[in-house]
Structure formats: C-alpha cells, structure tokens
Amino acid sequence: MKFNVTKRNTLYEGFYRLDKLTIEHDRYDGQSQFIERELLVRHDAVCVLLFDPLKDKIVLIEQFRVGAIEHGNAWLLEIVAGLIDKDEQPEEVAHREAFEEAGVEISQLTPITQYQSSPGGTNEKIHLFIANVDSSKAFGTHGVEEESEDIKVVVISKNEAFELVNQGKINNASALISLQWLIINESKLRDLWQI
C-alpha cells in the first residue's frame, strides 16, 4: 500500500501549525483515491507517570486545558508532560518536565511505549515513561511563566489513582495508559528497579 502527498499548504501558523494536505492513497480494493485533510502539526511529546514505589504514591498534576473547555471541567488531572525541542532526547525532556512541573528529580526512568495521540488529525507522537521519584518532595504549584503554565501538584496513593481511573476522573490518554500499564506491570517494574 502506498500514498503520495500531492499538495500541502499551511493554513495557519501560531503555537501550532495547521496544514491542508491533498493525498492520493491506495485502497484495499486495488484502486486509489484522493482525499483532502487538515493536519495539526505538533512536536512530539514526552509524558511521564511519577511513581514513588517506597510510599506507594503517584504524583499527578492538575492544570487548565483548552481542549477540555467544551467537555465540562477544564482542569484535568494529568501526568507530567512536555514537547520535545530540537536536539533533545525524550529522556532529557522527562527529567526536565518532572522538575519544572512537579519539582522532583527522577532516580530511575523506564519507557512504557510510544503511540500516536490522534492520528486522524495530528502528527504528534507520544513517548510514554514511568519514573521513580520521592513523592515527599512533590508539592505546591509549578510551571514555566513564559509558557503561561499554572500547575498544581497532586500526590495521592496508588490505589486512589486507580480508583480515579475507574470513576472517570482521570480521563486523558497518557495518564490512563500509564496507570493501566502500572496495574499490569508493577511486579516486573519493582524487579527492574530492584525495590
């Protein structure tokens, strides 16, 4: 199966970029077709679940999210995250964002997976990690002022976090995927971290 981008125009460029693409692609019936689609062009991102295995605590953050304003509550419980800048490795971003958003240092970092956040309309790829942190150092509000960040740190027990998933109060992909991964893989993770 093949595809070819025959035309690409930038419709808008601000914090993100929006392109309009004309694409010819193969169909499963052996034919081909042309489609037009808008593509939100974003940097890839890193998301990190902060876990304190000694205290069985999860460090989450809460912040305003414009994408949630039409769905009720615009302040979401999330995991630490940030965009990958030029010449950065995902692991570097994980360490930077853990400190910027939650005030903690990562002692061990383990990759969970990589996934496309919403491939029907954006090119963003997420690098998802879990990190060993000391939750006693996580408190207060954080964020980079130039990025208009206003981030509150929320430290809860691992079981409380799992219950918030079940209640639908944690409802964003990176937090859901990482917490569900922890439910399945905690024993292996503790072996890996030698805890």
**Per-residue tokens: 52:** 């304190």
Rounded to 10°, the helix 173-193/158-166 angle is 150
Structure tokens belonging to residue 25: 């692609």
Quickly count helices (H) and strands (E) in the chain: 3, 11
CB 61 within 8 A of CB 135: no
Give the DSSP letter of residue 68.
G
182: left (phi over 0), alpha (psi -120 to 50) or beta: alpha
- Residues with catalytic roles: 147
